[in-house]
Every structure is written in C-alpha cells, then in structure tokens.
C-alpha cells in the first residue's frame, strides 16, 4: 500500500506556482481555439488586455514587424491621433482636416496635422504659449490624463495649490482612468497610454459625451468601447454559446472572432459584441490559474485529516494533490475523466469542469518503439498519446463506412481519430476515419450524388471536381464507373473528387526509397501515402533535371513539392518538381524587408523581423520558406559544430603567439584567439563557436576519460539500434553514442571491426555517460 503525504493549502499553492503551473498543458480541448497573439512582445505585459482591445478597435495598433513596443515613449503627435480615435472620430475625418495648423513648428505636410487640428477643434489638446506644438516631444502622464478628462467634458477648476495638473489627476482618479500608479511627470509609454485609453473608452458617458458620476444614475449612458465583463458560467464548444454569471441569455461567438485565452467555466473574461455576436474576447484569468488534467481520486481519498477537501490529479504526467473551495465537488464517478479547474489566489480550486476523457483530431504522426520499451504513439495536433498495451482499434475506410476491427498499422497521417483515454492519459481505444479514399465511382447527375461501396455521398455546391488537372463544374464531366480519389472534411462532407491525372502542390515529402533497377521504382511518402516515381517521370529537383533512376534513399526527405502530377488510382508519379524548403547561411545584404543569404534574395513576410545588423553580425540564420519562397520565420544563432579533437596547434614566434588552429572531425579551423584553446586536448569532445569568416571564437570542452587501458571484449548491437561496448568482462558495458568513433592512439581513424579482443582501449564518455570515442591504446 502506498502512503501519500497530504499537502497543506500553503504547500499546494507553492507547488502550483512552481512545478505545476509553469508547465501546464494548454487548455486546447475545452473551449474555442484561441487566436494567436497579434503582437509578439505583449504576452507578459501587465496591460495586455487593454492592448488587445485597442488593437482590435484600431485605436492603438502595433508595428509592421509584428511588435507593439510597449516601453516606447509616445510623442505628442502620436498621442493626438490616439486620443482622437479614442473619442470616436475616424481616420477619414482626420484626413479632411489635414493641412495648415496654428502652430509655427508644425508644417502643413506633417503626417499628424489632421489629428492635431481635430483634437484642437474639440478643445482637448493645446499648444504651448510660444505658439509651438512640439510634436516630437514625449507626452507626459499628466498631459495624457488631462486630455482624457477634457474629452469626458468634466469641468475642472484651476489649481490653487501645487502643480497645475493636480485637479485633473483627481478627476481622472474619480472617473476610474488614473490609479495613481504612474508618476505624473514621467514620459508616457505605449502600454501605459493603452491602459489610460482603455479606461477612457470604457467609461460610460451620456449622449453628449459628458461623464456621469458613477455614484449617480447610469441609465442612458454608453461606452465608446462597449466591453462586457464577467465570469464564465457556461460555454458550449460545439455551438460556441457563452453565458456569464448573472446573464439570462447566451451569446454566440462569431466564427471569425478574435479569441485570446482558453474559455472555461469560472474564468473571468471580457468581450465586445458586433452584429449580435461576440467579435472579440479576452480571457482575463491568467493561464497560470487554469489547470487541466485527469481526475485520479474523488475527495477524501484517505482517512487523513484534511482530505475531505482534496483530490489527486494527473497534471502534465505528474500526480499532484489539489484542494477545493467549499461547494466544489469531485466524486469517484469522475475518476479517469478530464477536468479544467480555475484556481483562486490561495491555490485552491474555485471552479471545475469535468468531461469525458476523450480527444479527437487529425493524425499528425504515428510512431512505434520496439524492444524493452515497446510502445505505440499517435500525435494529434501538438499532443502525443501513447496507446495502452491492449488498446482497442476500430476504423472506417471513409466517413459513411461501418466500423470494423483495425490495426495500428492502418492509422496514417491525415486520418481523423477519436481517442478514449485512461487515468494515465493513455489511449485505451482508438477509432479512425479515412478522409481520403480511391474508389470506382458511379455518378448520378440527376440526384447529384456519387456512390461506391454501397454508399451515397451528396455532391455539395462547394465540392470541387477535377478531371485531368482541370476543374470542372458539372457532375456529368466525371467518368462513370472509373477510378476517382475522394476527399472528405472532418464532418464527413465530400469536398473534392479527382479523376485522371492528379495535380497538387505545397506538400512535404516524409520519406524516400531508392530506385533499384527494374525490380523496384523509387518512391516518396506524402501525407502518409506512398507514391511510385515512374522510371520515365519528369523530375526537377532543386532546379535541376534529374533521372528518376538516380533517386537515392532519403534523398527527398523534407523537400517541398512545388508541383506534381500522378495517375489517380495507381498513385504513379509522372511529373515532380521539388526543392528544399529551408535556407541556412549568413546574411550578406539587408535592405528593408529583403535579405541576401547564400547569394539569393529573400523577402520577409509581414510580421517577420530579423536583427538590424544581420548583414554584419556572426549569426548563421535559418530561413523557413512558404510555398512562395518568402520567409515566414527566421532564427539566428552563432554557428557551432561539435566533434572529437584531432589536434591543437599553437604557433609561437619570438615570445608571442603567431597563430592557433584546431582540428575537429578531420577538418582544421583557425582560432581567433589562442587562449580559446589553451585547455583543449586531443580526444576531448569539443563544441566550437564560429564567426562568419569561419574562425573559432569559443571552445567548450566536454568528455571524460572514463576507462583507461581496459581489455576490449566487443561491441553489441541491440534490436532497437543501440550499441554497447563491452570491456574487461562480458558483464561490463557502456552504451555508445549514435556517432561514436574509434581511433588509434596516434589519432588515426579505425573501423569498429578492426578492434580486436587482444587490444587495450581507453573509453571517453560524454555528458550523458555514453561512449563517444574508443581509443585503441595498445595492441
């Protein structure tokens, strides 16, 4: 019997804040899929909610590189625009007022004249006594608040004591715009301005725009940004209907709504309604306060005092104990089911939603591990699920087909699967549905249906029909009693029918087998299906025409298919154009959104940025390209390489160091500073950092001489591909690393089969304790 330590409330809170909360699963299957943040640098900003709302409303948006720059100070000209839009005016109205201004330092062609003239006309912004506006000066916190107080048409008496802005700050605080956290004379940052602007736009005013006293009658008032706030009482993922606590009716979330965060019962949210549906919704409850997992026990899981308010759960594969607030129930009937809990500030479960422990989606990948750690896994989206040893597998060859007993080998990438999970999160049952099938079809143009295998599928208005590459509009254009490839969506609707020669593009190659004379054609695997490359197929690989008979194993793995043609029903490829989809190298030129890598120009897509000094720094960049060859992602890091040190040479002359070189994996590199390799010796495992000239700027040494002059017994290869080196006797061994090398003591390379049982060997191990180098010391 296992005895579990009962955690106190304090311990639970600490555990959630640390080990559990920091690594919680994304709550992806409990609510509407969240929209990715439109701005890359606001995720941890305290005013993220305000920024998202203003970005949605078009009042304060981000920059073209996808950032918001929250700490950037706002100029007076920029704030004039923000204030005018916050008051409900439009860019078009401001454009009508572009031109000459009353300020001597503001030329008529300045970009902000329309906004400034409009703000001045409304009496919310003024210039300086000397007739200037100083558009490039930063706006101060007090100045911004003064503009918004004037925008609410609040009558403010002149200051009789202290600074001129004191009365405005008092009124701003009374209206709920100013919380006294920001220094009045400090330059206003973009995130702080967003906070003030959000408060201003959500402040109810009467029809004439005048602020009402919150202690008085709010009837008949409106908000410039009509935000509804509250706690989620219920949410139906399938219907997208949401109801807040205290609401009588549900509100539907629009299909194209911007949703930020995970919608779960108990979470605090704020939303904006447009055309009767929620168009914008932000989950205010922090992700770290939302826990998703599997129920392992009900409340009162043992006789220990305090357990009546605690239950065990599996979160991120770890068992934890959660304490609940009064009124929250977790029973034995919930064991093995999924839950989503909202935690209060004390780390207790304030509300919990429990559902069947099942998930569904499209298969991204399947994998099998053999040997002592044998297992089968299915990746659905970004989550990987292991199958239990006795998992029940059933499948359908197309959406309307009857379920039949299937096997793990039948499941492929792109299949729709439903997984039933046990308390450990493993799939105890799998049901898959093929969303593509090749069949001989019968066409009924009168009833607008296609039938095969005894089933009928309705041809919908948006079902796409193709014959020999060409899109056709009539069902009669399809050939009756001929082979066709039929594709379905996740709801089982027929979305595409192809006959003759199939055409596609933008696909990725998963695997390649080699051409083997007349006995076997080369093949590629795409979306889980294998295609034969006919010997006479027209191939263009990386821009060069090649023969199909020269294709080698793994040659086209991870290539992007630019275009291809294949015979439907047989999956024979007759034409293929493919190219690598990533580019790695140093940036040699940078002009605007265009960069040059390896002598070729690439355009950065909107929102993609790269270091300003990319064309001069020592970073090697990896460009991920879309199907148009434009850069959709960039990562950069100093170029590194790792390997076994063959030799280190430092040349001294007249008492000074003239040059230094290091040879790794048979290749020699120049060292920029000889001190870098002072402590590097032969046979050590080293990681070199290079500059763009190929010189070594840093050397990190790893590797330990673990065993010295041991009797060599042999190397054993296991079924799963792992290798072990045995030494001294048949009972002692150490695992070999995947790229382990064998060398003679003079540094020359050897093959594994050249090492004899009469040899003495030194074993060098890496940080993982695996042998990366066997040195034959004596023979």
What is the per-residue pLDDT for 45?
92
Contact 718, 371 (CB under 8 A): yes
Taking the whole predicted model, whether its pTM rises above 0.75 is answered as no
pLDDT at site 542 = 85
Mind listing the pLDDT tens digit for each residue in 350-403? Answer: 888 888 788 899 999 999 988 888 899 999 988 899 999 999 999 999 999 999
* pLDDT value at 30 more than 70: no
Q: State the Cα–Cα distance between residues 36 and 22, nearest whole angstrom.
A: 20
Confidence at residue 18, expressed as pLDDT on a 0 to 100 scale: 35
- 138: confidence class by pLDDT, cuts 50, 70, 90: very high
Per-residue pLDDT of 453-467, as tens digits, reads 899 999 998 999 988
Domain assignment present for residue 663? The answer is: no
4 domain residue, yes or no: yes
* Domain annotation covers residue 632: yes
Q: Locate 312 and state its tokens.
A: 């065990």
Give the model confidence (pLDDT) of 189-202 as tens digits.
999 999 999 999 99
d(CA 643, CA 688): 9
- 564-577 confidence digits (pLDDT tens): 887 777 788 989 99
As a whole number of Å, the CA-based R_g of the chain is: 34
Mean pLDDT of the chain, nearest integer: 88
Whether the predicted pLDDT of 9 surpasses 60: no
Structural domain includes residue 699: no
Element (H, E) at 359: strand 358-369
Q: What is the dihedral of CA 291, 294, 296, 300, to 10 degrees?
A: 40
* pLDDT tens figures, 474-509: 999 998 988 888 999 999 999 999 887 766 667 888
Residues 709 and 84: their CA atoms lie apart, in Å, by 81
Same domain, 345 and 365: no
**pLDDT at residue 254, rounded to an integer:** 93
Strand stretches in 370-435, DSSP E = 375-380, 383-396, 404-405, 416-421, 427-433
Phi, psi at residue 195, to the nearest 5°?
-60, -50
pLDDT in tens, 89-126: 999 999 999 999 999 999 999 999 999 999 999 888 98
Measured CA to CA, the distance from residue 33 to residue 36 in angstroms comes to 9
Residue of 566 and 233 predicted with greater confidence: 233
What is d(CA 664, CA 680) in angstroms, rounded to the nearest whole number?
A: 11
Supply the pLDDT for residue 19.
Answer: 32
Grouping H, G, I as helix, E, B as strand and the rest as coil, residue 431 is strand
pLDDT in tens, 235-288: 888 889 999 988 989 999 999 999 998 888 888 999 999 999 999 999 998 878
Note whether 411 and 542 are same-domain residues.
no
Q: Is the pLDDT of residue 7 over 50?
A: no
Question: Is the predicted pLDDT of residue 437 greater than 60, yes or no?
Answer: yes
Domain boundary among the residues 499, 524, 554 is at: 499
CA dihedral angle for residue 103, residue 106, residue 107, residue 110, rounded to 10 degrees: -140
* Contact residues for 538 (Cβ-Cβ < 8 A; gap 6+): 545, 574, 575, 576
Can you tell me the mean pLDDT for 130-147?
95
For residues 305-323, average pLDDT: 86
Same-domain check for residues 426 and 440? no
- What pLDDT was estimated at residue 22? 35
Whether 483 and 567 share a structural domain: no
**HSE, side-chain direction, 13 A CA sphere, residue 506:** 5
pLDDT value at residue 363? 94
In a domain, 559, yes or no: yes
Stretch (H or E) spanning 303: none
DSSP state, residue 15? H
If asked whether residues 58 and 181 sit together in one domain, one would say yes
Which of 319-333, 605-619, 622-636 has the lowest average pLDDT? 622-636
Q: Are 651 and 660 in contact (CB under 8 A)?
A: yes
Residues 67 and 195 in one domain: yes
Which of the pair, 492 or 304, is modelled with greater confidence?
492
Quote the number of domains for the chain. 7
Query: Is 602 within a domain?
Result: yes
Stretch (H or E) spanning 742: strand 733-744
- Same domain, yes or no: 495 and 523: no
- pLDDT at residue 12, rounded to an integer: 34
Last residue in a domain, options 139, 168, 202: 202
364 and 451: one domain? Answer: no
For residue 262, what pLDDT is reported? Answer: 82
Predicted confidence at residue 706, as pLDDT, reads: 94
Tokens 């977790």 found at = 330
Is there a domain that residue 40 lies in? no
Element (H, E) at 338: strand 338-343
What average pLDDT does this structure show over 733-762?
92
> Could you tell me if 131 and 146 lie in one domain?
yes
Domain boundary among the residues 325, 356, 387 is at 356
> pLDDT (tens digit, 9 = 90+) per residue, 50-92?
999 999 999 999 999 999 999 999 999 999 999 999 999 999 9
Q: Between 177 and 563, name the one with better pLDDT.
A: 177
pLDDT, tens digit (0-9, with 9 covering 90-100), for 506-560: 788 889 999 998 789 999 998 888 999 999 999 999 889 999 999 999 899 878 8
Are 469 and 523 within one domain?
no
Q: Which residues form the domain of 94?
A: 48-202
Query: Contact 281/228 with Cβ under 8 angstroms?
Result: no
CATH number at residue 451: 2.40.50
Domain contains 733: yes
Q: Say what the pLDDT of residue 272 is.
A: 95
Residues 6 or more apart in contact with residue 79 via CB below 8 angstroms: 139, 143, 144, 147, 188, 193
Query: Over pLDDT 70: what percentage of the chain?
Result: 93
Q: Cα angle at 345 between 339 and 349, to 5 degrees?
A: 25
Handedness of CA 68, 73, 78, 81 (dihedral sign): positive
- Does residue 480 share a domain with residue 387? no
- CB proximity list for 237: less than 8 A, separation 6 or greater: 30, 31, 32
Q: What is the mean pLDDT of residues 207-217?
A: 74
Nearest to 201 by CA among 45, 54, 94, 56: 54
At 652-675, the pLDDT tens digits run: 877 677 789 999 998 999 999 999
Q: Please give the pLDDT value at position 779.
A: 63
The residues that bridge with 290 in the sheet, in sequence order, are 342
Dig out the tokens for 661 from the structure.
């070189």
For residue 227, the model assigns a pLDDT of 94
pLDDT at position 642: 92
Residue 51 CA to residue 554 CA, distance in Å, equals 47
Please check whether residues 72 and 150 belong to one and the same domain: yes
pLDDT exceeds 50 at position 6:
no
């Amino acid at each position: 019997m296992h005895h579990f330590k009962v955690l106190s409330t304090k311990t639970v809170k600490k555990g959630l804040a640390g080990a559990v909360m920091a690594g919680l699963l994304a709550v992806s299957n409990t609510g509407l899929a969240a929209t990715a943040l439109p701005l890359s640098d606001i995720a941890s900003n305290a005013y993220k909610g305000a920024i998202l709302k203003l970005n949605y409303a078009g009042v304060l948006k981000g920059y073209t590189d996808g950032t918001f720059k929250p700490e950037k100070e706002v100029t007076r000209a920029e704030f004039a625009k923000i204030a005018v839009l916050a008051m409900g005016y439009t860019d078009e109205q401001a454009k009508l007022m572009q031109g000459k201004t009353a300020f001597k330092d503001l030329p008529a062609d300045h970009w902000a004249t329309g906004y400034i003239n409009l703000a001045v006309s409304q009496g919310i912004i003024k210039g300086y006594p000397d007739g200037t506006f100083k558009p490039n000066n930063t706006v101060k916190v007090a100045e911004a608040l003064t503009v918004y107080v004037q925008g609410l048409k609040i009558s403010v008496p002149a200051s009789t004591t202290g600074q001129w802005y004191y009365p405005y700050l008092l009124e701003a605080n009374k209206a709920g715009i100013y919380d006294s956290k920001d220094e009045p004379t400090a330059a206003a940052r973009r995130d702080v301005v967003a906070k003030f602007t959000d408060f201003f736009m959500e402040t109810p005013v009467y029809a004439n725009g005048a602020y009402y006293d919150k202690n008085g009658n709010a009837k008949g008032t409106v908000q410039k940004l009509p935000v509804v706030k509250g706690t989620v009482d219920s949410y139906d993922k399938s219907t997208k209907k949401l109801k807040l606590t205290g609401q009588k009716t549900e509100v539907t979330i629009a299909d194209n709504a911007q949703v930020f965060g995970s919608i779960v019962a108990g979470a605090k949210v704020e939303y904006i309604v447009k055309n009767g549906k929620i168009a914008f919704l932000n989950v205010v409850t922090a992700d770290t306060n939302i826990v998703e997992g599997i129920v392992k026990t009900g409340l009162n899981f043992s006789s220990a005092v305090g357990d009546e308010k605690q239950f065990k759960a599996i979160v991120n594969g770890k068992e934890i104990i959660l304490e609940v607030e009064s009124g929250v129930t977790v029973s034995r009937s919930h064991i093995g089911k999924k839950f989503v809990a909202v935690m209060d500030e004390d780390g207790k479960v304030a509300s919990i939603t429990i559902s069947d422990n099942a998930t569904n989606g499209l298969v991204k990948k399947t994998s099998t591990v053999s040997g002592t750690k044998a297992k089968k896994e299915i990746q659905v989206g970004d989550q990987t699920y292991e199958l239990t040893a006795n998992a029940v597998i059933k499948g359908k060859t197309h959406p309307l087909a009857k379920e039949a007993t299937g096997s793990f080998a039948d499941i492929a990438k792109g299949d729709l699967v439903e997984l039933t999970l046990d308390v450990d999160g493993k799939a105890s049952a799998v049901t898959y549905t093929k969303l593509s099938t090749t069949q001989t079809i019968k066409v009924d143009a009168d009833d607008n249906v296609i039938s095969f295998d005894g089933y009928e599928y309705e041809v919908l208005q948006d079902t796409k029909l193709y014959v020999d590459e060409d899109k056709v509009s009539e069902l009669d254009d399809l050939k009756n009693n001929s082979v066709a490839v039929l594709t379905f969506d996740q709801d089982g609707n027929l979305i595409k029918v192809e006959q003759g020669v199939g055409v596609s593009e933008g696909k990725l190659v998963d695997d390649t087998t080699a051409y083997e004379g007349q006995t076997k054609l080369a093949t590629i695997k795409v979306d889980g299906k294998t295609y034969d490359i006919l010997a006479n197929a027209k191939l263009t690989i990386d821009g060069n025409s090649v023969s199909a008979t020269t294709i080698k194993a793994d040659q086209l793995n991870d290539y992007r298919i630019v275009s291809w043609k294949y015979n439907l029903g047989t999956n024979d490829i007759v034409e293929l154009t493919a190219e690598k989809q990533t580019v790695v190298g140093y940036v040699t030129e940078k002009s605007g959104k265009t960069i040059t890598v390896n002598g070729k120009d690439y355009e950065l897509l909107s929102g993609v940025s790269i270091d300003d000094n990319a064309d001069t720094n020592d970073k090697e960049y990896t460009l991920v390209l879309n199907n148009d060859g434009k850069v959709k992602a960039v990562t950069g890091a100093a170029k590194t390489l790792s390997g076994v040190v063959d030799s280190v040479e430092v040349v001294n002359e007249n008492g000074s160091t003239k040059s230094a070189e290091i040879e790794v994996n048979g290749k020699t590199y120049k060292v920029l500073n000889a001190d870098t390799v002072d402590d590097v010796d032969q046979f050590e495992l080293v990681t070199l950092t290079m500059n763009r000239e190929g010189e070594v700027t840093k050397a990190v040494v790893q590797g330990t001489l673990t065993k010295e002059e041991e009797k060599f017994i042999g190397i054993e290869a296991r079924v799963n591909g792992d290798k072990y080196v045995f030494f001294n006797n048949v009972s002692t061994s150490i695992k070999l690393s995947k790229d382990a090398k064998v060398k003679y003591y003079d540094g020359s390379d050897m093959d594994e089969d050249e090492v004899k049982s009469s040899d003495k060997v030194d074993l060098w191990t890496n940080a993982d304790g695996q042998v990366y180098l066997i040195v034959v010391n004596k023979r």
